[in-house]
Structures are given as structure tokens and as C-alpha cells.
Structure 1
Amino acid sequence: MQRSVSLWAFALVCLLVISGLLSLVVGAMNVPILDSLLLVVDKTFGANFSQLQEYQEVVVLELRLPRLLLAIFVGAILAQCGAVIQGLFRNPLADPGIIGVSSGAAVGAIVAIVLFPAAWGSWTIPTNAFIGGLLTTLLVYGFAQSKNGTSVLVLLLAGVAISSFAGAAIGFLSYFADDASLRELSVWQMGSLTSASTANLWLAFTTMVLLMIAFQRRAQALNALLLGEPEARHLGINVEQLKLQMIILTAIGVGVAVSCAGIIGFVGLVVPHLVRLATGPNHHYLLPLSALLGAVLLMCSDLLARIVVQPAELPVGLVTVLLGAPFFLILLVQQRKNWS
């Protein structure tokens, strides 16, 4: 198992590097790959090896590199949050988007954008997104919880209801938005990496690192929870405390991801399930490998979004939905067989 995990980790790192290089050089304007790498080296170490023109440097450093980094950070955050949610509810159908957490975070963020437009880019948006995501998670979890455990059916139905309500709230707020921000809001709702500012990059990077540490420290407890709540309690796990901690951490991660990149669905559903099929359910391996694959998937999705309709581009959230929705239907059919 250790050898298999190492091979998968090596393969994912290679995919991360390759997709990152392609993201730097491929687009409406292609640039030489070697000079693009040398440009990054130049800016990092103060050298002067790159032969790119000034306008090409702007494209690589100010447009593509920030998007590449934001895709890595947001993809890793969403994939880890998805793995934790699935482990917490012990079901592969659970996902921050499907159970309404992303929609709740989006409502919180849009409230900040529409009602406090002067605060755009400050801590107001991430804070509101976190509060919206946390309230939604607690509400859905409360509906799904019973004396017999967590009902997956109620979980999904509550997620659908919350998402519908959130959609109506977003539409209501968008109706009162001014024309200047309405188009930006529309694109943002479909997921976009165009807001890859320095502040967003640092926020997403810090959140990704802190969540990696926090989740990894609780990996053994999540493994115990897979056996069932009574068994986890017999092993000395404070189940209720673990659930509350995971819900808060997941809400923070989803809130930051939504505030930085809008609603990007299905990354948290598809990625952990694929990693689990390849390496098993051990969260010690599942969480870091999910982070790697989530980063790769979002980078590749962003690359497709930029090249499919050149010179325009699609919102990256549309690409992830197109990739993830068929996968979810296949997974739902498999679960239906298990239920019957």
C-alpha cells in the first residue's frame, strides 16, 4: 500500500508540474515554454535569462501565473473539504456544493458585495462567506441528524432545499445590484479565477496550508469515524467535538474558496472519490493526495476554459460542472444499487 501511495503521489506531482507549465504558455497568445520558465526564475532570483517581450511578460506574470497559483490553492482546499465532508457523513455522495455549503457561502459573499461595495477585496467578503457556509452546514447537518445517525437521503434533500433558497437569495440580491457589478457577479457565480489578486492568493495559500495541517492532525479520528460513531466512541474519540471542528474548518475552507473564486462545483465530490478508489479510505493518504488531484483538476479545467472559446473564455465553474455532473450521476446509480 505504501508503494502504491508513493507512486500515485509521484504521478500527481508530475501532472501538477505539466499542467502548470501548460497553463503558463497556452492560451489566446502562446508563449515559449523555456522563456516562460526563465522569466519566473528571473523574477524570483533577480536574473536576466528570459527573452520574452514586455507584453509577453505581462501575460505570464500578471495574468497566467496568479490564476495558476489560485487554481492550485482553491482546488486543494475544495478537494480536502470534500474528503472531510464525505468522511464525516460516511458517504461518497456528500460534497460541499451538493449539500448547499457553497451556496450558503456564496450568499454571504454576495451580501458583502452588494450591500458593502466599498469593502470589495477586504476581509468583509471572506468573513461573510465563512458565516454563510457555516450556518448552512449546521442547518443541513441538523436536518440530517437523528437518533439513528445521519440520514443520507435527508442530507441530500436538505442540501437541495438550501441550495434552492440560496439561489433565490442570490437572484434577489443581484436584482438590486448596479449594472457595473452585475456582469461581474454573474461570472463570479459560475466560478472564475480572474480575481487572482495578491490578497486573494495569500488568503487562499494560508487557508490551504492551515487546513492541511488541521485535517492531517485529525486523520486518525476520521479513520475511526468510518467504523461508525459507536465504534469511534469506544476508541476514545470525542465524536461530537470532532464533528463540530470539521464543520467549522470545512466552512472556513469553502468560504475562502468561494470568496476568492466564486462557486466551483463538483471538485470536492469527484476528487476524493477517485483518490479513494485508487488508494483506499485511509485519511492519512486520502487528504494530501486529494489536495494534489484537486489542484490538477482545477488547473486543467481553467486551461480548458481559456482555450475552448478563444479569444474569450468560459467560467471555470462551468467546466467543472460539465466534468463532475456525469460522474455524480454514475455514482448515484451505484449508490442506488447498494440501497436496493
Structure 2
Amino acid sequence: MSRETPPGHGRLRYTLLLTCLAVALVAAVVAGLALGSVRIPPGQVITALTGGAEPGPFRTIVLDVRLPRVLLGAIVGAGLAVVGTVLQALVRNRLADPFLLGISSGASTGAVLVLVLGIGGGVTTTVAMPAAAFAGSLVALALVYALARRGSTMTGGRLVLAGVAVSYILSALTTLVLVVSARPEHFQEALYWTLGGLGSARWSTLILPAVVLTAGIGLLMALARPLDLLLVGEEGATVLGLDTGRFRAAVFVLASLVTGVMVATSGAVGFIGLLVPHAARMAVGATHRVLLPVAALGGAVVLVIADLAARTVAAPQDIPVGVLTALTGGPFFLWLMRRRPEGAPV
């Protein structure tokens, strides 16, 4: 039975899955607003969100401190999961994600350059940094793509290897820029930021990533069928009428834009774009029209929960969320690999 628009029991199962993910996201958001160095009863959280709370410290903590951070976590988690899903289809390799392909490292390098050089003045965090992160991610992806090609052929494995190499180089370049800047405040700020963190979230920083995520998911949903065609292989997609070269280039640019904006606001958070697509495919299959919404909701839930853990596990110390996703994501990915049948494609 096809999973593209599942009829009968399949459609009911898919709707139930989306509903469960939405409920899990709401629960994670409420928990993220209630828990922290100051614990707020869930009832008072709901009252503050509905506008019934009197002005006071609880209302300020919920609406001005925690809510922007939780919403940014949901936006970034959804964006990274969707980008990872699409990249894995583009290169036909399920090890591909923004982190492994060097896109996150390129975005980090561009954003750190803006931070160190002070480009953009008062609009650094809202305009200059996302623009530089997008440029860095696009340059990194173009470099990886060029290195992975041998003549007119390119394999997914070679692309991942090139991405890992470029990621290491750009990470070293980012560290070199910070060291040469000789300003300790830059090094401390950028070090925490490159490890991934949502602590700098403000209402003003939510607008751009929310708009980019909404537009990006809308465009990718419209491109679901061409993404499905890539799953049959380069020759098969061409026979079915897809200009694979132009299509890949266009979607790579879109993926770089989404990744750059997400990294500019949250830092480099790994494994979300690798693990969530795997779990989503296990639940609903590989058809992108049903896969992308599941991946987006799953990524939002995972990063909101991860950030909550980062704030509470070692409280009052705030652990960079990228460190936590790496510590938990690595073992989980190994578990997923062990579940795959012997000889199954990557």
C-alpha cells in the first residue's frame, strides 16, 4: 500500500501520528516554560500565555525570557530536520545532514567573521549575521560539491567524505579567526555560540527564522514529487523528465539559506538533521509529502526537549544544547545503524 496519501487505516494512522507529535510539542513547550532555575506551576504558565496573569516576575519569565527561547528551539529543530531530510534525498545518502556536509560549519565561519569584525553595526544579529551565515553555508556546500565530483560522476559516500573534510577545515578556520582576534569576549561568546545554544533568543530574533522556515517548508512541499523522483536514481529521474542538475542546485541553495539562518540564530546544533529524518522514515516511509511534516514536528519536539535538558540537567549551569545533542545523538545513531538489515543501502 502506498504511503503518499494513505487511504483508510493508513490515513488514520498518519493523522494520529501528526496529532501525537503536535501534542508532544505542546507538552514540551509547556514544560520548557515551567521548568528552569525558577519553577513555575503549569497552571500559571497557561494563565500567562492566555493573558490572564497579572504583571509580575512569573509573567515576565514566561513571556519575555523562556517563550522566545522555546519557540526558537522549535523553529530551529524543525528547520534542521527538514533540511536533513532533503539533503539525504538529494545525495541519496542517509548519512547526509547539514553538519556532516559542512553547511553548518560554513554558516558558523561566516557568522563568526561578522561577530569578530563587527560588520553591520546595530543590525549585526538581525541582518548581517544571517546573511554572512547563508553566504558561508553556500560557499561550503559548493566546495563540498566540487570536491566530491570526479568527472561527471559523484557518489553519496564521496560527498559525505568531502563534507567531513571541509567541516574540519572550516571549524579550524573559525577557531583561528577567534584566536587571532585577540579579544577574549569574542572567543568566549563565539565558542558558546558555535557549540549551539538558544540562550540569546529574543522576540526580535524569531521573525527571520520563522519566515524562512515557513517559506522553505512550503517550497519543499511543492517540490515533494521531484524529491521522490531522485530516490529512483539519477538516470531514472532524468527519464521521468526531471532536470536533476538544475533541481539539485536550486534545492541546495534553498537548504543553504535555511541552514544559514538557523545557525545564525542558534549556533551549530548537530545530529538533529541526521537522526530525525531516520526516525521519520521508519514511521511513515520515504514519500516526501508525508515525510516532511513528520520530520518538521519531530525536529521541533526533539530540540525543545534537548534545550530543556540543557537548562536543567546541570542547573544553574546552562549546557550548550549542541553538546547535549551530540552526546545523546551519537549512541542513538549507532542504535539505528544496528537496526538496519544487513546489506541495506545507507
- Give distance in 1, aligned partners of 2:342 and 2:147: 22
Q: Quote how far apart the aligned CAs of 1:149 are.
A: 4.2
1:25 counterpart (17, 34, 53) = 34
Q: Is the alpha carbon distance of 1:238 and 1:100 closer, same or farther for their aligned partners in structure 2, counting shifts above 3 Å?
A: same
- Give distance in 2, aligned partners of 1:337 and 1:328: 17
Q: Quote how far apart the aligned CAs of 1:156 are.
A: 2.1
1:93 touches 1:331 (CA, 8 Å); kept in 2? no
Q: Are 2:306 and 1:304 equivalent residues in the alignment?
A: no
2:147 counterpart (143, 149, 161) = 143
Q: Quote how far apart the aligned CAs of 1:179 are.
A: 2.1
Aligned to 1:197: 202
1:89 counterpart (88, 91, 101) = 91
Q: Quote how far apart the aligned CAs of 1:50 are.
A: 2.1
1:168 counterpart (159, 165, 172) = 172
Q: Is the alpha carbon distance of 1:141 and 1:336 closer, same or farther for their aligned partners in structure 2, counting shifts above 3 Å?
A: farther
1:134 counterpart (138, 144, 148) = 138
Q: Quote how far apart the aligned CAs of 1:332 are.
A: 5.3
Q: Are 2:19 and 1:15 equivalent residues in the alignment?
A: no
3-state SS of the aligned residue for 2:311?
helix
2:53 touches 2:59 (CA, 8 Å); kept in 1? no
The aligned amino acid for 1:73 is I
2:276 counterpart (261, 271, 275) = 271
- Give distance in 1, aligned partners of 2:342 and 2:104: 25
Alignment of 1:1-340 (within 5 A): 1-42=10-51, 49-50=52-53, 54-116=56-118, 118=121, 119-146=123-150, 149-175=153-179, 176-331=181-336, 334=340, 337-338=343-344
Q: Quote how far apart the aligned CAs of 1:41 are.
A: 1.2
Aligned residue pairs, count: 333
Q: Quote how far apart the aligned CAs of 1:3 are.
A: 2.4
The aligned amino acid for 1:298 is L
- Give distance in 1, aligned partners of 2:168 and 2:260: 18
Q: In angstroms, what is the RMSD of aligned CA positions?
A: 1.8
- Give distance in 2, aligned partners of 1:179 and 1:39: 39
The aligned amino acid for 1:62 is D
- Give distance in 2, aligned partners of 1:234 and 1:155: 24
- Give distance in 1, aligned partners of 2:235 and 2:329: 33
1:4 touches 1:279 (CA, 8 Å); kept in 2? no
Identity %: 35
Q: Is the alpha carbon distance of 1:247 and 1:191 closer, same or farther for their aligned partners in structure 2, counting shifts above 3 Å?
A: same
3-state SS of the aligned residue for 2:126?
coil
Aligned to 1:46: none
Q: Quote how far apart the aligned CAs of 1:4 are.
A: 2.3
Deviations 1:170-223 (A, max 9, x none): 111111152223211111011010121223200110011000111001000000
- Give distance in 1, aligned partners of 2:230 and 2:47: 48
1:24 touches 1:60 (CA, 8 Å); kept in 2? yes
